[in-house]
Amino acid sequence: MTNASLSQHSLPNRGILLDRNGIRVSPIGAKAFLLEATGDFDLPSQRRIWALSNAVELWDDVAEIVPGMTNLLVVLKQTPEEPERLLGRLLDAWDHAESIDLAGRTIEIEVRYGGDHATDLNALCDLSGLSDREVIRIHHEGIYRVFALGSAPGFGYLHGLDPRIYMPRKTVPSLNMARGCVTIGGMQTGVAVLTGPNGWNSIGFAELQMFDPLSATPAIMAPGDTVRFIPVSIEL
């Protein structure tokens, strides 16, 4: 992709580009660039992000890559003299990225649904029009894929939540949500890995520790893993 063709897709704020397929690339500081797939939040888009990650990781000038939810952060070893050329390389790499699947593990997480930790279950029932038992059944019957890790060490962003129990993140976060709370944030679900402020909505609790800094593999989850929630108790 030439600089001339790049300029045709430049947005008014310099350095942010859109290619004709709706892929946005923007600088994050001087040495980092973020590529975002702006289409559907789905598994096919994430599989292309995984493929792109594998390709870009081999570039000599790349210090680190951070795959996210249908996006990829690329950190360079040095500030590029021609940022536009790097932007073009990323867009070209996306165009040539073929979807791959990651052969992950299946992780079963035992959950105590309801009870003291389910501080947002009633609000989710009010929003969805479903009973508490229906919400819990829909949640634990789901099969989820780990798209990416982030936000906190070992926190897995899980895709596959049933649209019937989508719930927006809180405008005012809970100040002291416990580690282990099983939560819903928008169209995703997850398990809190730290105790503290949290804008997701809690419907239960899991004892399994998601992150152990002393372990050889600190994070329980990895991109591509499949997650099932197993109800061990329901307290309503």
pLDDT tens digits, 70-79: 899 999 999 9
What are the structure tokens assigned to 210, written together?
Answer: 């998601």
Domain match, 128 and 204 both? yes
Pairing of strands 23-28, 17-18: antiparallel
The residues, ordered by sequence, that sit 6+ positions from 99 with a Cβ below 8 Å of its Cβ are 44, 47, 48, 51
Cβ atoms of residues 112 and 233 within 8 Å: yes
42 and 150 assigned to the same domain: no
Phi, psi of 185 (to 5 degrees): -135, 105
- Confidence class for position 10, pLDDT limits 50, 70, 90: very low
Residue 101 located in a structural domain: no
Domain with 146 in it: 106-235
Contact 114, 69 (CB under 8 A): no
CA 182 to CA 227: how far, in whole Å? 13
Q: Are residues 128 and 200 in the same domain?
A: yes
> What CATH number should be reported for the domain holding residue 13?
3.30.1360.40
How many residues comprise the chain?
A: 236
In-domain check, residue 82: yes
**H helix and E strand count, the chain:** 5, 14
In a domain, 172, yes or no: yes
Q: Are 86 and 115 in a shared domain?
A: no
Q: In the structure encoding, which two tokens stand for residue 214, read together?
A: 């002393």
Q: What is the pLDDT of residues 123-174, one digit of tens each?
A: 999 999 999 999 999 999 999 999 999 888 899 999 999 999 999 999 999 9
pTM here? 0.82
Structure tokens at 83: 């940022």
pLDDT, mean over the chain? 88
Which tokens in the block code for residue 44?
Answer: 């096919």
**Shared domain check, 227 and 126:** yes
Cα end-to-end distance, the chain, whole Å? 58
